[in-house]
Amino acid sequence: MQTALFNIEPKEKEADISEWGTFKDSLKAPVHGWFTYPAGFSYKAVEHSLKQVLLLEGKSTIYDPFMGSGTTNLVSKSLGYNSIGVEAHPFVYRITKSKMNWDILFDNLNQSLNLIKNKLSKTERPIKLENYLQTEFPELILKCFLPETLFDLLVIRNTISELKQDETTKELLRTALICSLRDVSIAATGWPYIAPNKIKVTSMSKKGWETYRNRVLKMYSDIIQIRNKASKMSTTHSLINGDSRNTIGKIENEIADHIFTSPPYLNNFDYADRTRLELYFMGEAKNWGDISDQIRTKLMTSATTQINRGDDKYQFLDSFKKECPDQFTFLDEAVNQLSKLRLTKGGKKSYDLMTIGYFNDIYQIRKDNYRILKPGAKALYILGDSAPYGVHIPTDELIGQIGVAVGFNNYQIQILRERGGKWEKSPQRHNVMLRESVVILQK
Ligand SMILES: C[S@@+](CC[C@H](N)C(=O)[O-])C[C@H]1O[C@@H](n2cnc3c(N)ncnc32)[C@H](O)[C@@H]1O
């Protein structure tokens, strides 16, 4: 019998826990919603969680090992707690860093906007505009924007990097440009895939400069709004572009009073792909290979797009087998089933190796989280289970059990919502009902 570690039912009537694993409320909230990161979660869930534990304003520290768009860190800062966040995706990390910087001066922004506008009005468009753009951008980008709009965005991009302005202002201007891209794209740029052949009619009349300028001004007004409401307590926020599997030397032992996070779900998103449009536009990647080298290789294993079957690293770690024998036995059987099943399927997907890599990583992260957490403190993980080729992997149960095997006192699971029903009628998909849960571990 598990003891109740956490009162999950929010007192406020309007709070709906089934949406805790989604980015819906965060998208509408000032600063939180700048960059559409649907892998993100609800800021209200974080607020609820932090109100449930005894924390001291200005003193307590909250940790998120999968910082993503910074929901946990933004809430911590607003409520007056210190925070630490680790994010392995360098591009997402940089955007989040600019979301956490609220010391922006309007005069600096305004001056920069005037310089950009001036540059735009003075720069002549090449006569053979489309040919010129082809030399600058990969095809995906050419398909996603009208040439005139793309040229304006390019001038804005280059002008920002040449500005003689302080770095924090420049970072905000850069984030605003990145966040404007999907506003003006004429292609359906949904999550997770971009459909360059599907035209988004509502964007046809949107102009690059006006959209960008409005973004910058809205972002500034968001900062004022969040700053005015926030605790006036001085706090520190350590944001690390790194790997939460091992943070020794970067994060102290027993420094965190609470963890609130959401790890990548098994077989769900390819996070590296989420930023394809943005990386291509910014000139930071040109193809799948660049994105793999710069991003995929840095993330914990969670998708088959990360797996190279020739790589012999996909074996259960000896320490995992030793410390978590029951979870190893369960997973080993599932992996054997998956390696046989894949040979009977057209796509021959490497779900077997993906599962090994995922749990090796989860095990290491659980140990590192345990080290960072203060005795008696709690760690909350929002996550979904998975059923590759119909083989159910109850990640919430397994993560709770692995936590206890590495030292946590106990765990509790609360189901937030059922998911996966939309696949019921698809003959290609399994019909296992999946769920999204919150796993609560106490040290
Ligand atoms: C479910 S998302 C978290 C979203 C975040 N809670 C938010 O509100 O935006 C998981 C994040 O973990 C990051 N990630 C994957 N592997 C990582 C690793 N080894 N260390 C740190 N972050 C990692 C991914 O890039 C992704 O942003």
pLDDT at residue 11 is higher than 70: no
- Is the CB–ligand 1 distance for residue 86 below 6 Å? yes
How many C-beta atoms lie closer than 10 Å to residue 347's C-beta? 10
Helices (H), 33-146: 43-52, 71-79, 90-99, 106-122, 129-136, 139-144
Residue whose token pair is 């860093």 = 97
Ligand 1: residue of 87, 191, 243, 276 to mutate (most ligand atoms within 8 A of CB) is 87
Q: Is the dihedral of CA 161, 164, 166, 169 positive or negative?
A: negative
Q: Is there a contact between 363 and 406 (Cβ–Cβ < 8 Å)?
A: yes
Q: What is the pLDDT of residues 247-297, one digit of tens each?
A: 999 999 999 999 999 999 999 888 888 899 999 999 999 998 999 999 999
Residue-level pLDDT at 271: 87
Q: Which two tokens stand for residue 44?
A: 């209200």
Among 251, 175, 271, 247, residue whose Cα is nearest residue 216: 175
Domain ranges of the chain: 106-229
Cis peptide before 192 (omega within 30 of 0): yes
Pairing verdict, β 187-188 and 195-199: antiparallel
Q: Which residues contact 317 (CB under 8 A, 6 or more apart)?
A: 360, 363, 364
Ligand 1: residue of 245, 296, 299, 361 to mutate (most ligand atoms within 8 A of CB) is 299
Residue-level pLDDT at 199: 62
- Is the CB–ligand 1 distance for residue 357 below 6 Å? no
Mean pLDDT of the chain: 91
Q: Which residues contact 17 (CB under 8 A, 6 or more apart)?
A: 8, 9, 10, 45, 414, 416, 417
Residue-level pLDDT at 53: 92
Residue-level pLDDT at 207: 81
pLDDT at residue 29 is higher than 90: yes
- Is the CB–ligand 1 distance for residue 83 below 6 Å? no
Cα–Cα distance measured from residue 32 to residue 47, given in angstroms and rounded to the nearest whole number: 13
Cα–Cα distance measured from residue 156 to residue 364, given in angstroms and rounded to the nearest whole number: 43
pLDDT band per the 50, 70, 90 thresholds, residue 2: very low
Among 382, 356, 354, 381, residue whose Cα is nearest residue 370: 381
Cα–Cα distance measured from residue 331 to residue 436, given in angstroms and rounded to the nearest whole number: 20
C-alpha radius of gyration, the chain, whole number:
23
Q: Which two tokens stand for residue 225?
A: 């709004």
- Is the CB–ligand 1 distance for residue 37 below 6 Å? yes
Question: Which of ligand 1's atoms lies nearest the C-alpha of 272?
Answer: 25
pLDDT at residue 320 is higher than 90: yes
Q: What is the pLDDT of residues 389-443, one digit of tens each?
A: 999 999 999 999 999 999 999 999 999 988 765 545 555 566 678 999 999 999 9
Cα–Cα distance measured from residue 26 to residue 29, given in angstroms and rounded to the nearest whole number: 5
Cα–Cα distance measured from residue 253 to residue 427, given in angstroms and rounded to the nearest whole number: 49
- Is the CB–ligand 1 distance for residue 264 below 6 Å? yes
Instruction: Output b/e per residue, 359-392; b: 16+ Cβ within 10 A.
Output: bbbbbbbbbbbbbbbeeebbbbbbbbbbbbbebe
Residue-level pLDDT at 40: 85
- Is the CB–ligand 1 distance for residue 91 below 6 Å? no
Q: How far is the CA of 16 from the centre of ligand 1 (A)?
A: 23
pLDDT band per the 50, 70, 90 thresholds, residue 36: confident
Pairing verdict, β 373-384 and 195-199: unpaired
pLDDT band per the 50, 70, 90 thresholds, residue 13: very low
pLDDT at residue 307 is higher than 70: yes
Pairing verdict, β 187-188 and 373-384: unpaired
Residue-level pLDDT at 27: 86
pLDDT band per the 50, 70, 90 thresholds, residue 3: very low
Among 390, 387, 391, 411, residue whose Cα is nearest residue 399: 411
- Single-letter code of the amino acid located at 378: K
Residue-level pLDDT at 384: 93
Q: Is there a contact between 368 and 329 (Cβ–Cβ < 8 Å)?
A: no
How many C-beta atoms lie closer than 10 Å to residue 12's C-beta? 9
Q: How far is CA 10 from CA 49, 50, 226, 434, in A?
A: 9, 12, 23, 23
Kindly state the average pLDDT of the residues 323-338: 98
Among 308, 300, 167, residue whose Cα is nearest residue 242: 300
pLDDT at residue 9 is higher than 90: no
Q: What is the pLDDT of residues 69-99, one digit of tens each?
A: 999 999 999 999 999 999 999 999 999 999 9
Helices (H), 189-324: 208-229, 271-274, 276-282, 288-294, 318-323
Cα–Cα distance measured from residue 417 to residue 434, given in angstroms and rounded to the nearest whole number: 9
- Is the CB–ligand 1 distance for residue 66 below 6 Å? yes
